[in-house]
Structure 1
Amino acid sequence: MLIDIYVMALLFWLARYASLSNHRGIHQTRRDDLESVAYMLIYFLKGELPWQGLRENDRVKKWRRIEQKKASFSAQQLTQGLPHEFCFFLEYTKKLKYDETPNYERLRTVLNKLYRNCGFQKDHTVDWMYGQTSVSSTESIDLNQNENNAAAADNTTNNANNRSEPFQS
């Protein structure tokens, strides 16, 4: 009974952010954690994922449909309209070997550069410190606020460590 509840919870709640390996029943590794983080970031920035809202009476069939839908989208398609760093993040995670240790420092560097290029500062304050408890659906943050910032992010990312892609190991 406990296993049934656990399986149902996994099928129902985790499908949105689950890695493709998770859908396929493959033991989870750090690679899968990062793939899930990528899906969450995309969801937070876009407000939806293409496999949301799929209808199926049987949860196992729904799990499989979501897997098929996820597999049908490239990183470029999923991150369309977002800064290229998110595409690189997802592509990098998908290229990792099963037991490969991710280059976490490189991932942090790329995301921190994007953060700074978007004009954000690490001031250790958060919205709720000033009474803001939520963001309305009409508010958004333009991560592509100007072409100069995007170009700077491109140059910084592509030139780091003399690599053509930021996530080569």
Structure 2
Amino acid sequence: MQNLLLDNRYKVQKKLNESSISYIYKAYDQKTGNKVVIKYEKNPVGSYLQKEVRLLNDFYSVPGFIQVLSQGSFRGKNFAVYNYLGKSLQTKLVESNGRFSLACVLKISEEVLDKIHKFHTIGYVHNRISPKNILTGYELDWQSLFIVSFAYSSVFMDFDRKRHVAIKKNALKDKNTLYSSVNIDEGYTSSRRDDLESFIYMLIHFLQGYLPWDPSKTDENVYKIKKNISVNELCQNCPIEFKTILQYIKNLKFNEDPDYEMLKNTFKTIAEKNGIHPTYDWKLNNDKMIAKVKYDKSQTFLIQKLMQSPELLSSSVHRRRASKTGKFTFELLNSERLEIISTSRNRLESQKELSRVDTVKLIEYPEINNRKKLLELRKEFINEARSSSCSLRN
């Protein structure tokens, strides 16, 4: 499919991955100039991809879920176009030598548990919670995590009767996986408790670097080890709260509504008790991110001086100068504010329009959680600079 143009808009560039049911391609949106992902199924029209698209359309207005940008068929098979995301947690785990720090695990728990809660609120269970199905955001969404691969998701509510579906034991058991719950391995109908059990297994793996039933490290039956291992043994290298969480999840009844807030608060307690600020082990790519902000190169020396001695801004001279020029304010992680003068008076007198230039690299770049806020600040910065330019010319 390389170089193929789908929907007269999306140009396929290269294959990123493939599963048992679909191919995943990186593509280019010729209308917006953005990267996108195209999922093209291997089987004829009417299978898993259509189900995934219908499900994602139910989540169109829910923050933190990928969006279906387009859909159609090509050569008798379905395709769907999604917004582009970053690497999976599985890839991040490999890059981190098989383990994440406690701060990183707590940050992941915060993000993923929130997404699972939202997913369950709509009436679905995912059934495939695992590191390969959780992706980091792309560019300005770098702090968010996105759950993907909804082809095997199912409903746990009978919406017509407004009640929980009944529990059954299927004749054909689901294939045992590293993160599947014991109930799923035994062939029982999945419910919310099973997503949460997969979730906590994943966190334990991240923190300890292994799960005792990892088939690559044991010759014993995966299901047998998973079923018989004690909570204490499984969580021996984790904070004690992990034992409490796992025991709570295992004691949930099939149709019981989990206490998500209690789980979230327990993870917060771990962070507070250990004096940890939850944060990812991987870093923001400053070079790519700060290139999105404009500033006048001629002020590099002044900016560096202000960064070294921000108290200079307290003087009346610098306050007056800053008020007559465009400025962009960065919120630092310690909540302090540092106003960076972006264009000088002399520069504005001769400059007809703002030109794109590189931004000085800050010592500590802030966490960016809201693309809309950044764009509004950038628009305000440009408008203020232009207004200053016009007033100086007059």
Q: Identify the TM-score tier after normalising by the shorter chain.
A: 0.5 to 0.7
1:17 corresponds, among 159, 169, 179, to: 179
Residues 129 and 67 of structure 1: CA distance in aligned 2, closer, same or farther (over 3 Å) = same
Q: 1:85 — aligned with what? A: 241
Q: 2:230 — aligned with what? A: 74
The residue type paired with residue 39 of structure 1 is: Y
Residues 119 and 130 of structure 1: CA distance in aligned 2, closer, same or farther (over 3 Å) = farther
Q: 1:43 — aligned with what? A: 205
Structure 2 unmatched ranges of 5 or more = 1-20, 22-42, 48-150, 153-173, 287-394
Bigger RCO of structures 1 and 2 (CA < 8 A, at least 6 apart): 1
Secondary structure class of the residue paired with 1:50: coil
The CA RMSD measured in Å over matched residues stands at: 2.8
Q: Distance in 2 between matches of 1:81 and 1:68?
A: 21
Q: 2:282 — aligned with what? A: 127
Residues 125 and 74 of structure 1: CA distance in aligned 2, closer, same or farther (over 3 Å) = closer
Shift, 1:118, TM fit:
1.8
The residue type paired with residue 256 of structure 2 is: E
Deviations 1:104-151 (A, max 9, x none): 0001011111012222226x77732166xxxxxxxxxxxxxxxxxxxx
Secondary structure class of the residue paired with 2:232: helix
Q: 2:193 — aligned with what? A: 31
Deviations 1:41-93 (A, max 9, x none): 110000001111234xxxxxx8xx21111011011110002111101111000
Q: Distance in 2 between matches of 1:116 and 1:129?
A: 24
The residue type paired with residue 50 of structure 1 is: P
Structure 1 unmatched ranges of 5 or more = 56-61, 132-169
Q: Distance in 1 between matches of 2:247 and 2:281?
A: 30
Q: How many residues align?
A: 116
Secondary structure class of the residue paired with 1:99: coil
Structure whose residues are more often strand by fraction: 2
Structure whose residues are more often helix by fraction: 1
Q: Distance in 2 between matches of 1:127 and 1:97?
A: 37
The residue type paired with residue 116 of structure 1 is: E
Secondary structure class of the residue paired with 2:284: helix
The residue type paired with residue 16 of structure 1 is: L
